[in-house]
Amino acid sequence: MANTKLKGKKVAILTENGFEEVELTSPKKALEDAGATVHVISPQSKKVKAWNHDHWSIELKVDNTIDKADPDEYDALMLPGGVMNPDKLRQNDDAVSFAKTFLMEGKPVAAICHGPQLLIETGLLKGREMTSYPSLKTDLANAGVNWQDKEVVVDKGLVTSRSPQDLEAFNRKMIEEIGEGIHERAAMH
């Protein structure tokens, strides 16, 4: 029997060209296997291209562009890493605004590796418990995060992990948090 834990849930995966392939494909498959509807959202209009370790790889179909996507249509947000992807997204006002809405409304947000870079731009991370790829530790700490070196850290619906090695734990916790639904809304500072 198919897993229906997330049946009826709609999850946005926000990404740009240069996402780390497995950091999008693994969570996407886990979400779909749990019964969620998953949409790839990007500033790119038709396809978005993956990076695999040290080279360009697969292309994925974009379901909706960031300028047209409505965060109210989604129950949760997933942010894959890769070095190029979050750096492009954090400079995109629509992407920052989209992610900020999920945090402000207490909807589950899952970010892996370099993915949390985008969340720094929201200004809503002060006091949160998080992890990331080690090179983001200082950036997150400067944003007021209590950074931890753990495979997965959960803080009121915000799920973060360090790298592809953590995907199993990341996917499990992401599905659990999305299943729980709305968490505490982020305080505006």
Active site residues: 113-114
As a whole number of angstroms, the distance between CA 62 and CA 42 comes to: 7
As a whole number of angstroms, the distance between CA 158 and CA 128 comes to: 9
Under DSSP, the state recorded for 62 is -
Q: What are phi and psi of 13, to 5 degrees?
A: -110, 115
For 132-138, the CB contacts below 8 A with 24+ separation are: 132/160, 132/162, 133/81, 133/162, 133/163, 134/162
Locus of tokens 């002060």 = 126
Locus of tokens 């200082």 = 138
Q: DSSP readout, 97-142?
A: HHHHHHHHHT--EEEETTTHHHHHTTT--TT-EE---GGGHHHHHH
